Structure 1
């Protein structure tokens, strides 16, 4: 269920920022990385 939520959020971010369309679920995360999202690496939990 959490994976589906992450994929849905990735899709909304990609759509809102007018990024290229992903070819599949895994590609959605590649699209985010190509656009430097997240911008910085976090090493711990909030």
Structure 2
């Protein structure tokens, strides 16, 4: 039982670690795109108006 629990915990921690990295990459990617969109859209709108 102890070995199984240890294996499950290690697998979970590994998955959580991978998810954490993936989430960080996704968040940074989305944030970057959001900032770029905001910077690009506001001047265009002002220019169009």
Decide: shared fold, TM above 0.5: no
Q: TM-score, normalised by structure 2?
A: 0.36
- The higher relative CO (CA closer than 8 Å, separation ≥ 6) is in 1
